[in-house]
Amino acid sequence: MARLVYAIILGIVGAGIVHIAILLLIPVFSERDAWSRIASVTEPYTIFPLGRADLSADILKTADPLFDVAVCQFDLAQGVVRIAAAAKVPFWSLSVFDRRGRNVYSLNDRTATDGRLDIVVATPVQLIELRKDMPAGLEKSIFIEADIGEGMVVLRSFIPDPTWRPSVEAYLASATCEAV
Amino acid sequence: MLRTAFLTFLTLLIAIGGGAGSVWYALGAIGGLGALHVGGWTAYPQAGTVDADPYSKARVAREAELPLGRAEGLAFVADRDSTNQPLRRDCTYRIEGHIPAARFWTIYAADAGNRALAPVGDRAPGISAFAVVRASDNSVVVTASPRAAPMNWLAISGQGGMSLVLTLYDTPVASNENIAEIDLPQVLRTECDG
């Protein structure tokens, strides 16, 4: 009897350890996270509007229906990435996520020069190199320092009413996401 | 010998089964350790950030969420009215009060899985600060109802339960320390069908 109780107590202690281990490993090994689901339908360095994907219903589950959400995946190991758009919309905001789905940086159009989307995401080391020798065309860009490898930007654009949809879609079509 | 094997098996069963089962249960049941309750509204300011608790991180990974960042905004969800009854899609609710400082806000209705309800006809799927009629004291009254209503009508479609999502965009609330002291509108039930 004592051995049975001992076995049960040992099992409960083990359950606690397994609980913590699984909890901490889910974000690392999940194949259902936003990154994996987006990676399965799009290529890196393309602005992909989630609203058009069949699986968007899942990814966008908690998204505001008055917004259009687009993503672009990148890998800073292949160089800094620049996200820019020519047109303007009433409101946009942008988040940088790392591979594990953590929001490492966010900003909105008030932060940007003239409300235009023009940002460069770089690691701290890449940023030092950039500052030494600024490439032409990046003078007005906002630099985001993110100590990540693979990552993605999520760009949300507000659609005040359905008549704005063509403008917002034109804006997203004009947006670029490229390694520089 | 057989007894030892049985006890070992039992220990492993409790450890692995209990450990995995409790994680599965906790992710579905626990509202979140970083939850912020204001009136009947709940928000998760830490969700998706590096500071989030492990349960929130695991849920974000499993549900494939892309939470709003601090500079983007903050979403408040209410699934009960002012008398603590669950919200139903066949009832009419008045959402009234002042909305905290923000560049703008949106209100939409969502189903049990937090997915926005299908819009009714050609109506926009939600109401935003850009298209709202305000009272003279700058407060807002939104009527969430399956039937057409005057002033600000948030059209509800379908059957079953629902929740209301109020999102403040570009708001100082998201980075404020005294976040619990803000006032949010009340959700009052006015009538129900049947």
Task: Quick: pLDDT tens for B134-191.
Answer: 888 888 899 998 888 888 888 888 888 888 999 999 888 777 666 667 888 989 988 8
Is B72:B175 a contact under the CB 8 Å cutoff?
no
* pLDDT over 60 at A57, yes or no: no
Residues of chain A neighbouring B109 (CB-CB closer than 8 A): none
Contact between residue B80 and residue B40 where contact means Cβ atoms under 8 Å apart: yes
- The 3-state DSSP class for residue A47 equals coil
Q: How many domains does chain B have?
A: 1
| Confidence (pLDDT) at B177 | 62
Indicate the pairing of strand A48-49 with strand A67-75.
antiparallel
Domain with residue A167: its CATH number is: 2.60.40.1610
A162 domain-assigned: yes
CB contact under 8 A, B70 and A22: no
CB B75, CB B165: distance < 8 Å: yes
Element (H, E) at B8: helix B2-12
Confidence of residue A116 (pLDDT cuts 50, 70, 90): confident
Determine the pLDDT at residue B16.
Answer: 92
More confident residue, A175 or B124: A175
Say if residue B93's pLDDT is above 60. yes
Nearest Cβ partner of B23 from A4, A23, A60?
A: A23
Domain span including residue B41? 34-53+68-192
CB B92 within 8 A of CB B190: yes
CA–CA min distance B172, chain A (Å): 13
What are φ and ψ of residue A149, in 5° steps?
Answer: -100, -95
Sheet of strand A150-158: strand arrangement: A48-49, A67-75, A150-158, A92-98, A103-108
Q: Is residue A127 part of a domain?
A: yes
Q: Lowest mean pLDDT: which of A48-57, B10-19, B60-69? A: A48-57
For residue range A5-33, what is the model confidence (pLDDT) as tens digits?
Answer: 999 999 999 999 999 999 889 888 888 78
Residue recorded with tokens 């900003």: A107
Tell me what the pLDDT averaged over chain B comes to.
85
Q: For residue A46, what are the domain limits?
A: 34-179
Check residue B172 and give its pLDDT: 81
Residues in chain B closer than 8 A to A21 (CB atoms): 19
Residue A53 pLDDT > 60: no
Give the Cβ contact number of residue B193 at 10 Å: 11
| A9 touching chain B per CB within 8 A | no
Residue B29 DSSP SS3: helix
Q: Inform me whether the C-beta atom of residue B170 falls under 8 Å from chain A C-beta atoms.
A: yes
Please judge whether B16 and A18 are an interchain contact, meaning their C-beta atoms are less than 8 angstroms apart. yes
Q: Does the CB of B75 have a partner CB in chain A at under 8 Å? A: yes
Residues B113-133: what's their mean pLDDT?
A: 82
Does B89 map to a domain? yes
Closest CA to B190 of B78, B77, B83, B37: B83
Q: Is residue B111 part of a domain?
A: yes
DSSP codes, A10-44: HHHHHHHHHHHHHHHHHHHH-SSSHHHHHHTT--T
CB pairs under 8 A between A and B: 192
**pTM of the prediction?**
0.85
**Structural domain contains residue A26:** no
pLDDT at B66: 83
For residue B9, being part of any structural domain is answered with no
Total of domains in chain A: 1
Q: How much of chain B exceeds pLDDT 90, in percent? A: 15
CA atoms within 13 A on the CB side of A56: 16
B130 has a pLDDT exceeding 90? no
Region B9-33: what's the mean pLDDT? 85
Give the H/E segment covering residue B48.
Answer: none
Write down the pLDDT at residue B15.
Answer: 92
**What value of ipTM does the predicted structure carry?**
0.81
- CA-based nearest residue in chain A for residue B118: A65
Task: Tell me whether residues B3 and A3 touch, CB distance under 8 A.
Answer: yes
CA of A167 vs chain B CAs: smallest distance (Å):
16
**CB nearest to A10's CB, from B11, B23, B63:** B11
Confidence of residue A52 (pLDDT cuts 50, 70, 90): low
Selected residue of B72, B120, B169 to mutate for chain A interface (largest A Cβ count, 10 A) = B72
Tell whether A135 is within 8 A of chain B (Cβ).
no
